[in-house]
Structure 1
């Protein structure tokens, strides 16, 4: 069985996590979600200085994997959403520099994952969308507002807008856009630029400039309340049906 998440250490102090469900657009299922959270927690406890996140296939991440949810209890479904919020918090609050390299589509939880990273690199064909509120899930909202500003984040979420790579760069969702080969060099540049910072200095720097730490529990509560509202499966089914109609137009 192919592992949904590949973990490697390409350089000293660097941990690489590769999303590995290309046949499912790297949508986050239970196994991938659990694997990501454990990998990030281990990085945080192992004095890893840099976490690099990439993905195989044509798209970075299609978001939450809805396959099989009809057979899941609402409690199990809620836990899946909680895991994703925990992953986003582990990235945003982690004692390491996080670098994400994205390509193709990054929707829903995949786009939220990108917004939680320190450096957000993408190719010119990237596109992003945050549709969670279309099925009533409050995920990643405060981080997006912190990154893009309240007005821009609100406008994107209300319109369920799809952002192109240039729009994502202009808004601040992406920090760098370039062809794949150039992104390789950019990753090396970022990592080498940290050589004169030891682990304690990186941790202190990130902690002292970070916003929202005091809101972590509130964000988790808001997510749980949104997912626990009765009818979550029906809302998801309605969203998926509407999305299928849009795709056929």
Structure 2
């Protein structure tokens, strides 16, 4: 059985970590499968991505029992590649968390744009309990989301926290009943997949870059992004849909004023 399941519904791709006997702990095979799947998601016509785990757990972190003879630096390069691929995807990403998300597993969830959890979800930066320090972007993500003091508390003490506390710290976007999470995430992903893909990609990039920019730099970036947006058919389609009182049909295609224009390109 595959350690990573992939399924498409409309423009939404769902990746399911599938090692339930280890609470979906990630071994070298699963890291490799994630790398390949995230690379394909960036190239395929996917409009939104959901990352989740099989059978009542999201991910219990890296599998420390897995046999891996590589040098630790080589192992971490593999983790870093997956982390960057997930974070830099131009499409919206959702972590659907039911059960535990600890260590690298929690940081993969935090690397998604939105996190949906259930009351039974539990989170921990488990690393110091194992004599390790955080990886998979935890030291970059936690201070930006929860602030430096809470980030230090979570990373230094490795406390296990519940979904409501995680939400209060801006580490979970929504907490929904377990029986509703599938429907909730499906509806959310469908909304994102129906959105204007170029504008969503521009917006995601601007927000990700914004914390490291001055206001002047952010305004310059916004102006450039808006110029890209106006070069798509989605802007006139949005205006037409508003006038006609209907839902817009966004495609992200490049806007061509006329098919016979000498400047028109595919």
TM range (shorter): 0.7 to 0.9
Q: Distance between the aligned counterparts of 1:194 and 1:57, measured in 2?
A: 25
* Structure-2 change in CA distance of 1:195 and 1:151 (3 Å): same
Q: Report the number of matched residues.
A: 209
- 2:205 alignment partner in structure 1: 207
Q: 1:8 to 1:195 in 2, by over 3 A?
A: closer
TM-score by length of structure 1 reads 0.77
Quick check: 2:48–2:192 contact (8 Å CA) kept in 1?
Answer: no
Partner of 2:185: 187
Q: Partner of 1:38 in structure 2?
A: 36
The aligned counterpart of 2:220 is none
Q: Say if 1:25 and 1:59, in contact at 8 Å, map to a contact too.
A: yes
1:3 alignment counterpart: 2
Picking from 163, 166, 186, the partner of 1:165 is 163
Within 2, Cα distance between the matches of 1:96 and 1:103?
A: 23
Q: Is the 8 A contact 1:27 1:64 kept in 2?
A: yes
C-alpha separation in 2, matches of 1:9 and 1:207: 24
Structure 1 residues 132 and 211: CA distance shift in structure 2, 3 A: farther
Partners of 1:49 and 1:95 within 8 A in 2:
no
Q: Which structure has more helix as a fraction of its residues?
A: 1
Query: How far apart are the structure 2 equivalents of 1:211 and 1:28?
Result: 29
- What pairs up with 1:1-249 in 2 under 5 angstroms? 2-11=1-10, 13-69=11-67, 72-75=68-71, 77-133=72-128, 134-139=130-135, 140=137, 141-194=139-192, 197-211=195-209
Structure with higher Rg: it is 2
Structure 2 CA distance for partners of 1:67 and 1:81, relative to 1, 3 Å: same
* Stretches of structure 2 lacking an aligned partner (at least 5 in a row): 213-266
User: What is the alpha-carbon root mean square deviation over aligned residues?
Assistant: 2.0
CA shift for structure 1 position 146:
1.3
Stretch moving more, 42-51 or 117-126: 42-51
